Structure 1
C-alpha cells in the first residue's frame, strides 16, 4: 500500500526524479516506475511530467500534503520508540516459576525495584509456561535447572540445592532408604513428576516413585512430609527452616545432583531495552544482599 510514497514525496521536495534518485540512493528509472505504480494503484495522476519540470496535479497536491503529515507522524513514532527503548520508563513483562521463590523473593524484590524506579511498570506472570522469548511478550523469564541450547541470553541468579526428605515419624515407621532404588518400597509424595533423578560420581539413575498423595505445589508437599505421609523431593527454598529445626530429615544426600542454577533468561542483547538490562543487573545485586 505504501510502496512509492517516499519516492513521490522526495520527487516533489527535490523537484526532479534525478535529484530524488541521488537523495534516496536509487536509480531515476526505479523511482519513476514506483511513482507510476503508485498512481495506478490510486487511480489518479499525481504529477504532470515534462522534459523541463514537474508539476503537481490538484489531486497530487492534496495527496502530497497528506503524505507529508503521515511521514512526520511515522518519524515521531520512531523517535518515541527509540526513546522508550533507551530510557528508564515503560513496562517490563516477566514470566516465572511460582511458589515460594515468586511469593517470598521475586515479588518483594520487584516491588522494591518499583519503589526506586516509579516510571517502570512491572507485569508478573506465574504460569511457568514454556515460551519462545523471541515471539512471546516476556522480557525476562525465570527458570530452574537445565536449559535447552538457544540463542537467548542467560544469567545465573542463584544456585539451589535439592533434597529428599521426610519426617522423623515416617523414618521411625519405615526406615531410611540407603539407595534410590529403595524408594520404590517407600511412600513418596510427588509434585509435577514421578521420576526422580539421582547422580553419584559417574552413575546416573532415574527412579520412578509413587505414593498416597500428589500435588504440584511446594508448600503442600512440605505439609504432606511434615504430616508423615511420605518422602518428598524439592528445592531447599521450601526446606531450610524445617531441616534446621529437625522437623524434616534429608536422606540420599550422597546421591543428590549438584546445585541447580536459577536462571534469568532474556532475548539477545539487541532486543533488550535499557530498562530490562538495568532490572536484570539490579536483581543480581539484590540477590547478593538478600540471598534466595
Structure 2
C-alpha cells in the first residue's frame, strides 16, 4: 500500500479514534500543502521550487500527492500558465487562514521572549520569606511592569514547577535538584534571639545545653505539622535541637511577636529580625554556634528562552532583595552566580 492510499484511509478526522488518523494525515499532507501554497502564491511550479529550495519535479510530486489525498484537482496546468481551480481557490483560502494563525502564534511566542514584559507570572515562596521579603516588593515591581499580572503562592512545602505551573520559586536551604536553575540571593542565617526585657529577667544561654533552662518558642510547619528543629554548629558538626517549648505557633510572625514581648527565646532567620537587631529590640545568643549558611535562592526551570516577564522579575528581585541588607551578622559577597543545582528546600 502506497503513502497516498494510507492517507486516504485515515483522512476523515471527525470520526472516533481519529488521533492517529489526524497525525498520519498531517504528516503526509504537510509537504504537499507547503508546495501547494508556494505554487498558488508564485503562480508557477518553477518559481515555487526556487522559493522552497527544491526542484520543480519535487514540487509537482508533492502537489500531485496532495491532490490524490484530497481526490480533488487544485490547479489548471498548461504549458504556458498555472492557475487555481475553484476547489483550489477554496482550499487556498482555508489554508491561508491557518498559515496566518501559525504565523501569529510564532510572533506571539517571539514577543513573549523579546517584546515588552507581559502576561501572568506565577510565583511560589516559603511563607516567612514570601510575606516579609517578596510581597512588600511586588507593588514596586507592578509599578515598573504594569502589564505583568502576579500570582503569589505562599507555602512551606517545595513547589512543583510543572504540576503547579510555577514560573519562579523562592527556596530556602541547600539546593540539590539539577532540574532547576537557582540564583543565590542572600545568605540564610538562623540565629537565637531574645528581647532585652527577657535577657534582663532570664539571661541568655551560653551553651546549647542551657537552652533547657529557658522559655523556648517553637515554629510548627504549616504543611505537615512538624516542629522546626533548631540547628547549631558544635565542634565543627551540625547539631539539631528540638526545644521543649512553652509556646508553639504555625506562623513565624507570631513567633517573632512573642519574642518581642519577652515571652521567650527563638531561633529565627535573620531576614525576619535584622531590623529589630539594628534597632536593639532584639539581641542574639550563641552566635559562635550559628549553623552553616544554606542561602535564599530564586529558582526557575531553564536559563535559555526565558520569557521576558520571568527574566525581568528575576533581575528585579535579585537587585532589590540584595539592596535590603537583610544579612545583619556577616559580610555578604553578592557576586554569586546562577547554576543548575539540586534543591532540597526547607
TM-score range normalised by the length of the shorter chain: 0.7 to 0.9
Which structure 2 segments of 5+ residues have no match? 1-21, 222-226, 327-346
Q: Deviations over 1:253-282 (max 9, x none)?
A: 111124442211122222412332233223
**Residue in 2 aligned with 1:45?**
71
Q: Deviations over 1:120-146 (max 9, x none)?
A: 333333234422435642222112221
Q: Where do residues 33-72 of structure 1 align in structure 2 (5 Å cutoff)?
A: 35=66, 39=69, 44-47=70-73, 61-72=89-100
SS of the counterpart of 2:246? coil
Which structure 1 segments of 5+ residues have no match? none
- Measure, in 2, the Cα distance between the counterparts of 1:127 and 1:261: 18
- Measure, in 1, the Cα distance between the counterparts of 2:296 and 2:165: 21
Shift of 1:178: 3.2
Shift of 1:168: 5.0
**Residue in 2 aligned with 1:10?**
34
- Measure, in 2, the Cα distance between the counterparts of 1:34 and 1:190: 74
**Residue in 1 aligned with 2:12?**
none
Shift of 1:48: 7.4
**Residue in 2 aligned with 1:202?**
236
**Residue in 1 aligned with 2:137?**
109
Shift of 1:187: 3.8
Does residue 139 in structure 1 map to residue 167 in structure 2?
A: yes
Q: Deviations over 1:17-66 (max 9, x none)?
A: xx7799387996995897489x3xxxx523479x9999977656534431
Coordinate RMSD, CA, aligned:
3.8
Does residue 93 in structure 1 map to residue 122 in structure 2?
A: yes
SS of the counterpart of 1:263? strand
Q: Is the 8 A contact 2:67 2:73 kept in 1?
A: no
**Residue in 1 aligned with 2:108?**
80
Shift of 1:80: 1.8
**Residue in 2 aligned with 1:267?**
301
Q: Is the 8 A contact 2:189 2:294 kept in 1?
A: yes
Structure 1 residues 179 and 262: alpha-carbon distance in aligned structure 2, compared to 1, 3 A threshold:
same
SS of the counterpart of 1:7? helix
- Measure, in 2, the Cα distance between the counterparts of 1:25 and 1:129: 56
Structure 1 residues 290 and 52: alpha-carbon distance in aligned structure 2, compared to 1, 3 A threshold:
same
**Residue in 1 aligned with 2:255?**
221
- Measure, in 2, the Cα distance between the counterparts of 1:233 and 1:272: 38
Q: Is the 8 A contact 2:117 2:312 kept in 1?
A: no
Structure 1 residues 46 and 216: alpha-carbon distance in aligned structure 2, compared to 1, 3 A threshold:
farther
Q: Where do residues 232-271 of structure 1 align in structure 2 (5 Å cutoff)?
A: 232-244=266-278, 246-271=280-305
Shift of 1:9: 1.7
Q: Is the 8 A contact 2:132 2:272 kept in 1?
A: no
Shift of 1:112: 1.8
Q: Where do residues 185-200 of structure 1 align in structure 2 (5 Å cutoff)?
A: 186-191=214-219, 192=221, 193-200=227-234
Structure 1 residues 24 and 130: alpha-carbon distance in aligned structure 2, compared to 1, 3 A threshold:
farther
